[in-house]
Structure 1
Amino acid sequence: MGEAGNLSRRNFIKNGAVAGAGLMGLAALAGCSKASAGQGAAVSWDEETDVIVVGSGYAGFAAAIAAFEGDAEVRIIDKRDSDGGNSIKADGDFAVCCSSPQADQGIKDSVDDYVHDMLVAGLDLNDVEKCRVIAEKSNETWEWVSGLGVQWVKNDQGKIDLLPYGGHSNYRTMKPEGAGQAIVGVLRDKATELGLKVECRTLLKELVRDENGRVLGIVVQKGINETTLTGGKSVAIKAKKAVVLATGGFSGDVAWRMKHDPKLDESLESTNRFGATSEALQVAMRSGALTVHLDWIQLGPWCSPDDGGFGLAWTYIDAGFPRGVVVARQTGKRFVSELTDRKRYCDAIVANGEPSIQIVDQRNLPTWALEYLDQCIEVGCTWRIDSIEEIAQKFDIPLEPLKEEIARYNTFVENKVDEDFGKKIPANALPVAEPPYCVTRVWPKVHHTMGGVKTDAENRVIDVSLNPIEGLYAAGEVAGGIHGACRLGSCATADCLINGRLAGQNAAASESWS
């Protein structure tokens, strides 16, 4: 996997920051008596609509649907050759507080607790107001997508399974049947019902602004090659009300992420779908958008070096965290809570210097994870092993320390108190004591970029003078600052859907400029 490095926060590369500020300043000052794009060329519009949504993942579809329901004419574009954005590859887990499944299972939760958990994970760098909106609107948004047709994984009692999730102080995360594709599917169906279709292979090239800075529309390249982002025809599309950026993050852009954290080089794979790159963010920056937290880039701890990309292993590894153990190969000892937040977990794994070893007995895995187990074994990223002795031999782990550690952990499971790392032991967890054992090597991959354009409470993009850019909104991973240093797992689905809907509603309510 290459040399692992320290994952502590780094300052934005000085020269890059200065150059970026210069570009943004020039873009903000560029203008002419009519509309301007790039270096001030007058624009002759080829097409027009009320609201243009750039991106077609959770946030993009949610924004488009909300804008249409707000009586706006809507166009959706996407640079890829198919819709769904990176969301179509996501697990879709959704953190919801004060929900009916929680009430049905006697679980008391609150908006304050949800926000507190986000702030702890984010090292208090979060936009608190935005966190509160996510918490407050999580249940109504979950009800909305459920009403559109999303089904949720159920437990052995036939109730919606509320997952123990890293960094959360309560059971509030639900898993959709069919993962992120299921959520994208119902959003696509709803958009289709409304007559909305995603125009694929259409790349955003410029935001067009007038002399006062208002966004008037966009210039795109239609019919591009998805891989090279070249070719196609230049088209100017007027947005009479607003443009909504829902273009995701840049986890797959190695050059860009290395400028913010040099250790995140090509030796670290990304979990993201091809195309998770920085082009749209660069367009926004050239138009004067303020960016925040670009150097906070999250790694996913539930990944395997023996599995390409996001792969299959995450499904099983993530399911094993609540009920299994992760040990250092060199010592056979645990070194962190398996249910801590992603930053602390990844920092601990990488500080150990090599892939760690997850051990969970098969009986502890939930039914939905068992569906993936044989596939993981088949591709060679998971092993089914009959004894602790065989595990130690296969992975060169000191046997006696490993046996002692598992025995100690099993006392924590029986007492439901982790005396070493404070892990929240699930009520239905069983001791890791009955073969077969499912064993996987664990090593992080680049997963989510917390940085992006700064937005206000109405999802308007803020410029470098700290004023809202009229006619420009953003939602989802392209919007920075919400999650602080580290996004709390299963909050991205809530963020994208909630802020996507809000951005679409506000865009539709914008005053038309023509």
Structure 2
Amino acid sequence: MQRRELLRNGTLGVIGAVGTVGASLTAGAASAADLDAKGSARPTFDRTVDVLVIGSGFAGAAAALAAAEAGAEVEIVEKMAFAGGNSALSGGMMAVPGSSVQKKQGIEDSPEKLVEDMQRIGMGLGDPELVRALCNEAADTFEWTRRHGVVWNENLTGKGGHSAKRCMVTKEGTGQGILKPFYAELAQKGVRVRTKAFVSRILRDESDDATAGAVTGVELREGYVFGKPDSGKLVRVGVRRGVVLAYGGFAADKAYRRRLDPKLSDDLKTTNQPGATSELWREASRIGARIIQADWIQCLPTCSPKEEGMGLATHFADIAGALYGCWVSTLTGARFASEFADRKVLTDAIIGVMGKGGQALAVADANGVAEMEKVRPGLLKKVVEAGVVTEHASPEALAKAYGMDPAAFEAGIRDYNALVRAGKDTAFGRPLEKAAKELALDRGPWYASVMSPKLHHCMGGVTVNAATEVLDVMTDRPIPGLYAAGECAGGIHGAVRIGACAVMDCLVNGRKAGAAAAARKA
């Protein structure tokens, strides 16, 4: 059967024809001027742009900037009242293998090494072609961000799963360090950003010619109020070249995530902003985009239960605790995992401690927080004042504050220090930083944070090729005019995403998607 017949008969479970979805115009009622050569109704739009970007985070902003650079008329639509999505809450850390910063500092690394890391941690579920393309283009995209005003702190750091120091944080220490310069330049280039604009339909052509199945626009609600599905005015926006999907994940959508993984109960918190919901995941599926690996949903293990969303304590646990300190169970006063393991391993380990009635603590001393401050200046003051990291004069005081046996905790610290000084973690196999070997846990004051995993990143998404084109579920061929980047695209990170690779993914593939959409013939 031809796609047109499938759509009409409902075989795909979709009603994706531009001439029928949300339109009052039908072939039977159209005037001769509104019909194409085959007698089908032409779509009618309230306005038309070259490229429409759905979503306003890192991927959407990068796509819009790349498309505008290429001379396209671009519009961003965002359903929430503010632009930025989860990226506005991000810690702003990007993995860049083989970067100019690494070379300047004499650090040996390469895209191939990060490919190996991502495939190993992702349990081989990442598409090798997509992973290679991402890693190969990271260094060039990093330089592109610099040209567009992003300033990076060049104190390189590692994250669990990385085999080299290749991660950089923005000078601001947050994702705003990327969003602010990008949006300033988008404004200069005349790119319109419409917030409170909820896309309810993606429109596809059902003609039988060479553009069969092409995406021609969207139907959206302008003036939309989050949580009120019928709010706003219905508007139809056409595209001359393409639509870029950059709508992110669904970790805040309790019903949708529970359908995919019944273990994800409603009481689990998320690092995501409230708008990380499933509407466009469902819509992409409805129009025939193939979605893969959506039931792989990652937790961020290092969050504080005292903070909403991602918070700041996670950065203390990831840097001061995991690189220069240790993680301990309050049940034993001793370490319970390799602090540099991947997020799934650490989430399971922390949940194991919690399941037995204990707390998992990230512990560091004055040496460790001094190293952390090089990467994230000013963080210590913020987390201590917020009460999510506590300060103590001695190991004994720290132990008592968290209900641990002081003797057991001090014995655990001695064991850790012995491993550090020996230069090898024979207990859990954690790679040891050079600075960690030189700076054992022995200088007060002492610091600790409680860790409680939160739902963080949706690993799956629409299937794309290396050119960021979205693939059709029936044909495995690209859907003409439809591109995707960022968390809504699947097949890249596999079962587990390594920290700092999401920002890399969003920026590299967002840039690529925007350029590809702009280059498509109108």
Give the TM-score, by structure 1 length. 0.90
Shift of residue 39 of structure 1? 9.6
Q: Which runs of 5+ in 2 are unaligned?
A: 1-8, 27-42, 207-211
Which residue of the other structure, out of 382, 388, 397, is the alignment partner of 1:381? 388
| Residue type of the alignment partner of 1:306 | K
Q: Which moved more, 1:41-50 or 1:490-499?
A: 41-50
The residue aligned with 2:86 is: 86
2:360 is the counterpart of 1:356: yes
| Residue type of the alignment partner of 1:257 | R
The residue aligned with 1:275 is: 275
The residue aligned with 1:164 is: 158
| Residue type of the alignment partner of 1:164 | G
The residue aligned with 2:422 is: 415
The residue aligned with 1:191 is: 186
CA contact (8 A) 2:462 2:470 kept: yes
2:124 is the counterpart of 1:124: yes
Q: Per the alignment, do residues 205 and 418 of structure 1 end up closer, same or farther by CA in structure 2, a change over 3 Å counting?
A: same
CA contact (8 A) 1:24 1:289 kept: no
Aligned pairs for 1:332-411 (under 5 A) are 332-352=333-353, 353=355, 354-365=358-369, 366-367=372-373, 369=376, 371-411=378-418
Q: Deviations over 1:45-97 (max 9, x none)?
A: 11111111111111111111111222322111111112112111101101001
Q: Per the alignment, do residues 213 and 399 of structure 1 end up closer, same or farther by CA in structure 2, a change over 3 Å counting?
A: same
2:168 is the counterpart of 1:174: yes
CA contact (8 A) 1:208 1:215 kept: yes
Q: Per the alignment, do residues 175 and 66 of structure 1 end up closer, same or farther by CA in structure 2, a change over 3 Å counting?
A: same
Q: Deviations over 1:365-399 (max 9, x none)?
A: 12255623233233322211112222222222233
Which residue of the other structure, out of 455, 459, 468, is the alignment partner of 1:450? 459
2:21 is the counterpart of 1:37: yes
Distance in 1 (CA, whole Å) between partners of 2:379 and 2:285 is 42
Aligned pairs for 1:48-447 (under 5 A) are 48-153=48-153, 160-178=154-172, 179-211=174-206, 212-320=212-320, 321-352=322-353, 353=355, 354-365=358-369, 366-367=372-373, 369=376, 371-429=378-436, 430-447=439-456
Q: Which moved more, 1:296-305 or 1:228-237?
A: 228-237
Distance in 1 (CA, whole Å) between partners of 2:380 and 2:233 is 46
CA contact (8 A) 1:37 1:209 kept: no
Shift of residue 151 of structure 1? 1.8
CA contact (8 A) 1:416 1:426 kept: no
CA contact (8 A) 2:152 2:170 kept: yes
The residue aligned with 1:25 is: 12
| Residue type of the alignment partner of 2:13 | L
Shift of residue 227 of structure 1? 4.3
Shift of residue 263 of structure 1? 2.2
Q: Per the alignment, do residues 250 and 123 of structure 1 end up closer, same or farther by CA in structure 2, a change over 3 Å counting?
A: same
Distance in 1 (CA, whole Å) between partners of 2:472 and 2:79 is 25
Q: Which moved more, 1:371-380 or 1:208-217?
A: 371-380
Q: Which moved more, 1:390-399 or 1:206-215?
A: 390-399
CA contact (8 A) 2:392 2:445 kept: yes
Distance in 2 (CA, whole Å) between partners of 1:23 and 1:416 is 64
Q: Percent identity?
A: 39
Q: Deviations over 1:252-271 (max 9, x none)?
A: 11111111122222322111
Distance in 2 (CA, whole Å) between partners of 1:436 and 1:81 is 43
Q: Which runs of 5+ in 1 are unaligned?
A: 1-21, 154-159
Which residue of the other structure, out of 505, 510, 514, is the alignment partner of 1:504? 514
CA contact (8 A) 2:97 2:138 kept: yes
The residue aligned with 1:491 is: 501
Q: Per the alignment, do residues 220 and 456 of structure 1 end up closer, same or farther by CA in structure 2, a change over 3 Å counting?
A: same
Q: Deviations over 1:481-511 (max 9, x none)?
A: 2100011110111100110111111111212
Q: Per the alignment, do residues 259 and 445 of structure 1 end up closer, same or farther by CA in structure 2, a change over 3 Å counting?
A: same
Q: Per the alignment, do residues 45 and 416 of structure 1 end up closer, same or farther by CA in structure 2, a change over 3 Å counting?
A: same
Equivalenced residue count is: 482
The residue aligned with 1:459 is: 468
Q: Deviations over 1:287-338 (max 9, x none)?
A: 1111011111111112011222222312322222111111111112212111
Distance in 2 (CA, whole Å) between partners of 1:26 and 1:394 is 58
Q: Per the alignment, do residues 369 and 66 of structure 1 end up closer, same or farther by CA in structure 2, a change over 3 Å counting?
A: closer
State which structure, 1 or 2, has the greater radius of gyration over its C-alpha atoms.
2
Q: Which moved more, 1:165-174 or 1:462-471?
A: 462-471
Shift of residue 38 of structure 1? 6.1
CA contact (8 A) 2:301 2:347 kept: yes
Q: Per the alignment, do residues 197 and 362 of structure 1 end up closer, same or farther by CA in structure 2, a change over 3 Å counting?
A: farther
Distance in 1 (CA, whole Å) between partners of 2:453 and 2:296 is 15
The residue aligned with 1:7 is: none
